[in-house]
Amino acid sequence: MRLRVFSFLLASGLFSVPTFSFEMTLHAPTAVDFPVTPAALRRYVQPASSGKPESGMFGLTRNEGTRFHEGIDVKSAVRDRHGNAADEIFAVCPGKVAHVCRENNGSYGKYVVLEHRSGGISFYSLYAHLSLAAASLKEGESVPAGTFLGVMGSSSSVYDFPAGTEHLHFEIGLRLGGKSFLKWYERSFLPDDENLHACWNGLNLVGTDPVRFFSEAPLCENFRDYLDRVPVALTVVVKDADVPEILKFSPGLSRTDIPEKASSWRISFSWSGTPLEFFPLEIYEKDDSERAKIVFVYEKYIRNILVMKMAEKRDNGSFSLGPRMKNILSVLFGEEF
């Protein structure tokens, strides 16, 4: 079932002829078409304990707008004779099976991660809280869009979902690191907190808004083009000669040829912490001893709680690295910031 994202745009007269230019086939994650109107979205998402529809959406939607939700929670539309969710879950894009967790361990519970490539960028889609993951899935195998991945459920060893609130937690975004992440995790968490999911641990994943993606991707040529539509919230310069590992599997995040060495890197981020662009620099201020510094914060996002956790404002009006940005940079570069 192809995604019909243009129905609202056509009805509003904004577009007379739909043009699907995205290089990948898109498919809704369940049998219900991914909606594009606010009213349809309210019916599509499963609210959290607050009961507010927006609490199931991407963004600062939890705890009165103070807690970040990395994806979107899709409500059940199909029930079996026992009243349990029976919705089948499907791959939203063609890609490779990156990780399958069939045991109920961790906040995601039973979940599947697919890795996709578009525009020189590797991005992921994640399907969590399943009652079961498809037995046919094998890590490393390629799958087309629409492949059956599992069945909706409420699995999680961290959260206890009330009966009737089964849902699909769906994410789409970027993996920040590979070996760099594993190295940082080993130093920072082991042996007290074992990493059961390798590079597909949630700490290594940064989501982008699924609603925005499904609405705008068909207007884009590829995922690089899509990221160009995501506003820059802040920019960081990091003093490091080595090429960040993320550029090795997502070279499309750099606007220029990637050098073997650089003096430093200028990195732009969205308000949610998604890295949008890397630019190598040959010169770093010699009298500046800071390992990394915030060089730009878009005024629109200064009071955004998540941005404030990435860029903490000093008394003199400049910004220092916040805890969220330190974690992101630690994963990207494989060492503590």
Q: pLDDT tens-digit profile of 67-121? A: 888 899 999 999 999 999 999 999 999 999 999 999 998 899 999 999 999 999 9
Q: What is the pLDDT of residue 262?
A: 83
> What DSSP string describes 4-22?
---HHHHHHTS-SS-----
Q: What is the pLDDT of residue 152?
A: 97
pTM of the complete model? 0.90
Q: What is the pLDDT of residue 284?
A: 57
User: For residue 117, what is the enclosing H or E element?
Assistant: strand 110-118
Contact 256, 279 (CB under 8 A): yes
Q: pLDDT tens-digit profile of 143-178? A: 999 999 999 999 998 888 988 999 999 999 999 999
Higher pLDDT, residue 323 or 67: 323
Q: pLDDT tens-digit profile of 214-223? A: 999 999 999 9
pLDDT, averaged across the chain: 88
Q: Which residue has the tokens 């430093």?
A: 264
Is residue 7 scored above 50 in pLDDT?
Answer: no
Q: What is the pLDDT of residue 11?
A: 38
Per-residue pLDDT band at 62 (split at 50, 70, 90): confident
HSE toward the beta carbon, residue 242, CA cutoff 13 A: 9
CA 265/CA 272 separation, integer angstroms: 20
Q: What is the pLDDT of residue 18?
A: 37
Q: What is the pLDDT of residue 212?
A: 93
Q: pLDDT tens-digit profile of 10-58? A: 333 333 333 446 889 999 999 999 987 888 998 999 998 888 888 888 9
Sheet containing 292-297: give its strands across.
275-281, 264-269, 234-238, 292-297
